[in-house]
Structure 1
Amino acid sequence: MTNTTEAKDEPPYLRIAREIRRRVEEGELAPGERVPSTRGIAKEWGVALATATKALTHLRLEGTVETKPRVGTVVAAGPGTTSRGRRTPPSGTPAVPPSVRPDDQELTLDRIVRTAIDIADTEGLQALSMRGVAARLGVAAMSPYRYVTGKDDLILLMADTAFGEQTYPATPPDGWRARLELGARTLWSLHRLHPWLAQLSSLTRPLLLPNLLVHGEWSLSALDGHGLDTTELFDIHVLLFSHVQGLAVHLEREAQAEAATGQSEDQWMDSRAHTLQGLVDSGRFPTFTKVVGSFHDGYDLRLDALFERGLEALLDGLAPVIESGGRPRG
């Protein structure tokens, strides 16, 4: 039994790992069942995302958990499970999980990039580190550096790979509007799959990536040939991309905020009820008061619906400009 002094001096990530291991050993978590994500750990134990990541990395290295693409971190199966189907406590030197032993599959740049994307998708971009990628792959900490110079370069490779996951038909749909709708919805779906994409750059400092330019080429070619001058044409392209990015940026920010505060969106709003009521009672904002008062069950912020509504409004507004060749209608 761990004495009080040892427990007090134990690093937070080890305390967290020990508790998750206990849940596995006592059958609270079964093989293949998801364990708390970094965000879940940060919320439950009130620690930073870096500490949560370290705890999961420790559990991966000792073989208690493993990562499944598009699923997340789960209790590892295989040797070491008890008759009840649970894993036995690890002993001795932490072992690399059998599912990620380096001799099972040759380390390649593609594996490194795909593993990094999976970490960013399931844990958030803040959880990504070169050491964490190596740990998940079950290789030495410095091994990924043989293929990529560092985290910044890795993120660019991740983004280029993610933007290349969807492309466009060889024969485009008829009409500029149908083509722009397809382009915008394709980009939105990619940002939905990979929320961290919207965090990588600003409009003023765009990512210069071949697979991102595929989407730009689709948008620009849809607008080309309508008499727009090049500035008008590019302005419209940027405006449409900013609609996608401007909404998508909140996908990752909300997840980060929940991990940092330990509160869901609804809980955060509930905690501000007194402040909101004070604004309503002030009498200074009658229209705001009327609108807020009409939401008997609260306002549901639906980003997908806002994306579609905003896209429709943008294209409705741009239609006269595009169809008149950029010239005002007389």
Structure 2
Amino acid sequence: MDRSASPAANRSATPPYRRIVAELRRRIDAGELSPGDRVPSTRRITQEWGVAMATATKVLTTLRQEGLVRAVPGVGTVVADPGASAAGDPAPRPRGNIGSGGGRHALPPGDDQAAGRPPSLSRDRIVRAGVRIADAEGLRSLSMRRVAAEFGASSMALYRHVANKDELVMLMADATFAEIELPDPAPRHWRARMEAGARLQWQLYQRHPWVAQWLSITRPQPMPHAMILIEWTMGAATRFDPLTKLRLALTLLNHVRGTAVALEEDLEAEQQTGMDQEQWMASLEPEYERILESGAFPMYAGIGDEDDAGTLRLDAMFEFGLARLLDGFEVFNDGWTGRPAP
């Protein structure tokens, strides 16, 4: 009898990562894992199947190569949407990411594009085209020539509508802030209002990661729609003078923006290395284990067993930092004397 042909022998000859890939593929095909759902992390795979971290990393890499999953910075590895591309074509990898409060939204095309006609040039359409390019390819890929190619025009034709690339990017960023729908009615308590404003900003950066990298606190750009959001966020903090309100607003804004900067950085790093955040961390795990075995870092050594959610996930950083920042604002509010802070 040829034992090699038996099912048991075939199973034992199958590499462990292949068996796990097959099981996760089955869950996706059966609808147990739907598009946008998180798939087991590398740590979960090691725990559920009892395999090494390298094997778990190979599982996610294989699923990603097959187009079944994609990496979302700040969230993890999720099931890809098979309907996101034309049949037979590999799904394009969107640079935006899905997080709490909404998914990635592109500004809608102009009427000409919707009707299938070559679009005519206008400032609004140029701005919309620029946003679509920056969302899909990053701000570094944006140029006047690249935008002009969307219209089948020369880059010189764009200068009749926008002065230069700097003005274009400013208009693009302000257009993304114009997407925000402010809650009505607005929260009445100042802390609830500031928290809501911070979340609206965080969701904006998740849809358009490049915006956070472009904004400047020390050299602010004149963007009316961004100013509307800041004004609304501080609308319930009525006891503070205007200068103090602005300082509080900028402190809050900088926490959100500073955390969101890593969204674009992580996307660029993944494009350069071919590894998402989990895979990158897994590749360095042996080196981290060697360092921690020295016993010189007891704080770090105790984290792994307590934090399966992932300390380095951007959503977790945003939530923790926002809560602590608003806690500090509460103390400041309670001790407010009516005089501007030095």
Q: TM-score, normalised by structure 1?
A: 0.64
1-structure distance, mates of 2:126, 2:178:
16
2-structure distance, mates of 1:130, 1:123:
14
1-structure distance, mates of 2:279, 2:317:
22
AA at the equivalent of 2:319: E
Specify which of 298, 315, 319 is matched with residue 326 of structure 2.
315
SS of the aligned residue for 2:291 comes to helix
1-structure distance, mates of 2:178, 2:332:
31
Indicate the residue corresponding to 2:336 in structure 1: 325
SS of the aligned residue for 1:313 comes to helix
Q: Is the 8 A contact 2:113 2:119 kept in 1?
A: no
Q: Residue 311 of structure 1: CA displacement? A: 2.0
2-structure distance, mates of 1:326, 1:120:
45
Residues 25-80 of structure 1, C-alpha deviation per residue, up to 9 Å, x if partnerless? xxxx84695554598xxxxxxxxxxxxxxxxxxxxxxxxxxxxx849xxxxxxxxx
Indicate the residue corresponding to 2:168 in structure 1: 154
Indicate the residue corresponding to 1:177 in structure 2: 191
TM-align CA RMSD: 3.2
2-structure distance, mates of 1:104, 1:152:
26
Q: Is the 8 A contact 1:220 1:237 kept in 2?
A: yes
Indicate the residue corresponding to 1:144 in structure 2: 158
Indicate the residue corresponding to 2:265 in structure 1: 253
Point out the more displaced range, 269-278 or 120-129: 269-278
AA at the equivalent of 1:122: A
Q: Is the 8 A contact 2:106 2:131 kept in 1?
A: no
Indicate the residue corresponding to 1:106 in structure 2: 120
Indicate the residue corresponding to 2:292 in structure 1: 280
Unaligned 5+ segments in structure 2 are: 1-84, 96-104
AA at the equivalent of 2:173: A
Specify which of 299, 312, 320 is matched with residue 301 of structure 1.
312
SS of the aligned residue for 1:146 comes to coil
Q: Is the 8 A contact 2:119 2:151 kept in 1?
A: no
1-structure distance, mates of 2:305, 2:87:
48
Unaligned 5+ segments in structure 1 are: 1-28, 40-68, 72-97
Indicate the residue corresponding to 2:203 in structure 1: 189
2-structure distance, mates of 1:281, 1:327:
53
- Listed as ranges, the matches of 1:59-208 within 5 Å are 70=106, 104-169=118-183, 171-208=185-222
Change over 3 Å in CA distance of 1:287–1:308 after alignment to 2: closer
Q: Is the 8 A contact 1:176 1:222 kept in 2?
A: yes
Q: Is the 8 A contact 2:118 2:151 kept in 1?
A: no
Q: Residue 174 of structure 1: CA displacement? A: 1.6
Please state if 1:236 is matched with 2:221: no
Q: How many residues align structurally? A: 243
1-structure distance, mates of 2:123, 2:211:
20
1-structure distance, mates of 2:122, 2:218:
34
Residues 124-155 of structure 1, C-alpha deviation per residue, up to 9 Å, x if partnerless? 11111111111122223432222112221110
2-structure distance, mates of 1:37, 1:291:
32
1-structure distance, mates of 2:182, 2:205:
16
Q: Is the 8 A contact 2:129 2:147 kept in 1?
A: yes
Q: Is the 8 A contact 1:37 1:123 kept in 2?
A: no
Indicate the residue corresponding to 1:265 in structure 2: 277
Please state if 1:213 is matched with 2:253: no
Indicate the residue corresponding to 2:65 in structure 1: none
2-structure distance, mates of 1:101, 1:151:
28
